[in-house]
Amino acid sequence: MSTPGDGIPVQDTAFVSEQKRRAAEGGLNLKPSSRMPAPGSPEPRRAVGAAPAARIEDAVFSCRDVSVLYADKPGLSNVSIDIARQQVLAVIGPSGCGKSTFLRCLNRMNDTIAGARVTGSILLEGRDILGKEQDVAQLRAQVGMVFQKPNPFPKSIFENVAYGPRIHGLARGSADLDDIVCASLRRAGLWNEVKDRLSRPGTSLSGGQQQRLCIARTIAVQPEVILMDEPCSALDPVATARIEDLIDELRASYTIVIVTHSMQQAARVSQRTAYFHLGELIEVGETNRVFTNPRQKLTEDYISGRFG
Amino acid sequence: MAVVTAKRAARQRSGERYFRAATLVAALLVLGLLGGVALSLLHGAWPALAHFKFAFLTREIWNPVTAQFGALAPIYGTLMTSLIAMLVAVPIGCGVAIFLTELCPRGLRRPVGVAIELLAAVPSIIFGIWGLFVLAPLLQRHVQPWLIAHLGPVPGIGRLFQGPPFGIGVLSAGLVLAIMVLPFIAAVMRDVFDTVPDVLKESGYALGATTWEVIWNVVVPYSRIGIVGGIMLGLGRALGETMAVTFVIGNAHRVSASLLAPGTTISASIANEFTEAVGDLYTSSLVALGVLLFVITFAVIAAARFMLLRLDRRALSGV
Ligand SMILES: Nc1ncnc2c1ncn2[C@@H]1O[C@H](COP(=O)(O)OP(=O)(O)OP(=O)(O)O)[C@@H](O)[C@H]1O
Ligand SMILES: [Mg+2]
């Protein structure tokens, strides 16, 4: 997979020096030429291990050379990226570029797809989550996920939120469970709207309320990271604005990764933005910087609306 | 040009009209047939129903010599064999369906699914022969003595497992029925479980649920109405099944406490005795049995359809 028109693949000098250090230690066998390609030289863009990644101190997630194959068809190629604590990372890119695939690597949801293979390494708080020893259920309790379409369980509003704490045994007694449900609904900004009808089916709510219910359901498990895959694409502007406000509040306690098709949304809610193209990570950096001063031609084309 | 088009359109319209009329006639014909069957059944059953009145439903006696007929034994046998069949077939059928939709490796899904559908198509007389010559002796020699020895002395349910091991009887008929409706139930359940949206299951997994928790807490609640519908359809089949049951039930007009004892069912009685029924009251009583079966199965199928309809509507409204 070669991408035309890009110059320097590595953005952060900190990362480059880190690469050098690791190479020097023998951890990576980089050829000197692939480590520092001359600008504009006809280098193969991605040499082994030299994917663009911004090193971040105290990252929650660090992904290195993560690739996904769907029955031998690549869905993601050599993505290396760090995800900062208590920030919102927006993932943008044209349809089919691997945004969802990347997101689903972070909580091993790709495991549920027959024929999907994930390689590389993903460290969550320094612990490799791709290994066989990783308890997937526990990982997913730590890394929650909100989906594109609001999809409450066929249960009451209360039970929807109580489900996660129940299966993970988080509540000591029913009063405790009530507290967790109440607190989660409050955090999701839904409490006032549903407090009188907790026993009604979750599906009786409006689309925007359902999505906030799904967020409440996710935070009831007390995750560390929340993944959101186009959480607003099925919602109207008012409901979208509410979710965006909510994301901004949640950032204080959670690390959030949000996939979005709306550049405005990415700009509004995120501190960092990653741009994907054809399964590769093209650029990642401060949201402001990426939108005002993209370093890659592909990113610039995308955010200026030339394609995608 | 325009004239030709108009002509063509007119021809198409009249063709449409004929087609519509033809299908309407076909539909009405079926309805008329159904009504006719019901009416002629009632007409045939009338002498017996008028003679025995309500007691026809509650009496166990079935004596062609004295012309005393009561439907209790066939009704009991029909309901009991169907109940046994359901008790065995529903959990296993559900298990098969869950395996097929949730756990089975992709490559195996189709072959196993097709095999189950083929099994559902085996003619019932084959099951009858197999039940009589293979299953019944097996039960008689190995299973029933064990049941009698171990469950017989238990207070309460013990009464169901007492008496000599005949091999044929209510239990054997119920088991043969179970094997017959199992593939049917599994196939319907699989279709029902397939209606559960993937995103719903995924959000279960995303909360850290295990496969078992997702099945039990998401798949089953979502498809509960369809599950009931599938059970009812299977029940409808079990209630009306004739051939296989006639082979293995023993055909005795008795209501026995023991499941090991021979009994009879409505359809088995009719099939067995119709050719030798002499006297108006005897024939009429058999027809009256037919009416009872008609009513029971009709009610079951109607309930099943109704529930499946509700499931469809819910699926449409995109829950
Ligand atoms: N379950 C799957 N099986 C096979 N291929 C898949 C599967 N899911 C995704 N892919 C492929 O992987 C690539 C990336 O898909 P992905 O869903 O990650 O894209 P995306 O960026 O999320 O797109 P969108 O914006 O449309 O949601 C696509 O080429 C897609 O066809
Ligand atoms: Mg996607």
Task: Tell me the best of A67, A68, A70 to mutate to test the pocket of ligand 1, counting ligand atoms within 8 Å of each CB and taking the most.
Answer: A70
- Which of A137, A154, A155 is facing B208, going by the closest CB pair? A137
Q: What is the pLDDT of residue A196?
A: 92
Q: How much distance in Å is there from the Cα of A209 to the middle of ligand 2? A: 22
**What is the percentage of chain B residues whose pLDDT exceeds 90?**
39
pLDDT tens figures, B98-126:
898 888 887 888 898 899 888 888 898 99
Q: Is the pTM of this model over 0.90?
A: no
Say if the Cβ atoms of A149 and B204 lie within 8 Å.
no
Q: Is A113 in the pocket of ligand 1 (CB under 6 A)?
A: yes
Q: What pairing do the DSSP bridges indicate for beta strands B68-69 and B62-63?
A: antiparallel
Tell me the backbone φ, ψ of residue B63, rounded to 5 degrees.
Answer: -125, 100
Measured between its terminal Cα atoms, the distance across chain B in Å is 51
Q: Where do the domains of chain A lie?
A: 86-106+135-270+285-303
Residue A156 has pLDDT above 60, yes or no: yes
Q: Is A231 in the pocket of ligand 1 (CB under 6 A)?
A: no
Q: Which residue of A has its CA nearest to B317?
A: A203
DSSP B280-303: HHHHHHHHHHHHHHHHHHHHHHHH
Give the sign of the dihedral formed by CA A113, CA A66, CA A124, CA A188.
negative
A154 chain-B contacts, CB cut-off 8 A: 200, 218, 221-222, 319
Joined tokens for residue A288: 């402001």
pLDDT tens figures, B22-57:
999 999 999 999 999 999 999 999 999 999 988 898
Q: How many CB atoms lie within 10 A of CB A196?
A: 8
pLDDT tens figures, B258-298:
888 899 999 999 998 988 888 889 999 999 999 999 999 88
Q: Is A75 in the pocket of ligand 1 (CB under 6 A)?
A: yes
Distance CA B43, CA A130 (A): 74
Distance CA B304, CA B226 (A): 9
Q: What is the pLDDT of residue A37?
A: 40
- Which of A115, A155, A164 is facing B207, going by the closest CB pair? A164
Tell me the backbone φ, ψ of residue A189, rounded to 5 degrees.
Answer: 65, 30
Q: Is B206 on the interface with A (CB under 8 A)?
A: yes
Place of tokens 């559908």: B117
Q: What is the pLDDT of residue A17?
A: 42
- 3.30.70.20, 3.40.50.300, 3.30.2350.10, 1.10.10.10: which CATH number matches A86-106+135-270+285-303? 3.40.50.300
Give, as one character, the DSSP assignment of residue B246. Answer: H
**What is the percentage of chain A residues whose pLDDT exceeds 70?**
81
Distance CA A110, CA A130 (A): 11
Which protein residue's CA is at the shortest distance from atom 28 of ligand 1?
A: A96
Measured between its terminal Cα atoms, the distance across chain A in Å is 18
Mean pLDDT value across residues B170-180 = 93
CA B202 to chain CA centroid, Å, is 34
Under 8 Å between Cβ of B172 and B189? no
Residue A2 has pLDDT above 70, yes or no: no
Q: Is B208 on the interface with A (CB under 8 A)?
A: yes
A60: region left, alpha or beta (phi > 0 left; psi from -120 to 50 alpha): alpha
Which protein residue's CA is at the shortest distance from atom 31 of ligand 1?
A: A96
Which H or E run includes B84?
helix B72-98
Mean pLDDT (chain A, rounded): 82
Residue B154 has pLDDT above 90, yes or no: no
Residue A171 has pLDDT above 60, yes or no: yes
Q: What pairing do the DSSP bridges indicate for beta strands A59-70 and A73-84?
A: antiparallel
Mean pLDDT (chain B, rounded): 88
Q: How much distance in Å is there from the Cα of A102 to the middle of ligand 2? A: 9
Residue A114 has pLDDT above 60, yes or no: yes
- Among A178, A158, A177, smallest CA distance to A168 is for A177
Say if the Cβ atoms of A153 and B202 lie within 8 Å.
no
Mean pLDDT value across residues B232-246 = 88
Q: What is the pLDDT of residue A187?
A: 86
Q: What is the pLDDT of residue B311?
A: 67
Say if the Cβ atoms of A112 and B197 lie within 8 Å.
no
Q: What is the pLDDT of residue B319?
A: 39
Q: What is the ipTM of this complex?
A: 0.76
Joined tokens for residue A164: 């996660």
Q: What is the pLDDT of residue B232?
A: 86
Which protein residue's CA is at the shortest distance from atom 2 of ligand 1?
A: A70
Mean pLDDT value across residues B191-219 = 90
Q: Is A138 on the interface with B (CB under 8 A)?
A: yes
Say if the Cβ atoms of B208 and A141 lie within 8 Å.
yes
Q: What is the pLDDT of residue A129?
A: 92
Task: Tell me the best of A68, A69, A101 to mutate to test the pocket of ligand 1, counting ligand atoms within 8 Å of each CB and taking the most.
Answer: A101
Which ligand 1 atom is at minimum distance from the Cα of A279? 14
pLDDT tens figures, A61-90:
999 999 999 988 889 999 999 999 999 999
3-state SS class at B69? strand
Under 8 Å between Cβ of B182 and B61? no
pLDDT tens figures, A14-33:
443 444 444 444 333 333 33
Residue A41 has pLDDT above 50, yes or no: no
Distance CA A35, CA A104 (A): 30
Joined tokens for residue A52: 């663009």
B105 chain-A contacts, CB cut-off 8 A: 114
Q: What is the pLDDT of residue B313?
A: 67
Under 8 Å between Cβ of A6 and A42? no
Give the sign of the dihedral formed by CA B84, CA B88, CA B91, CA B94.
negative
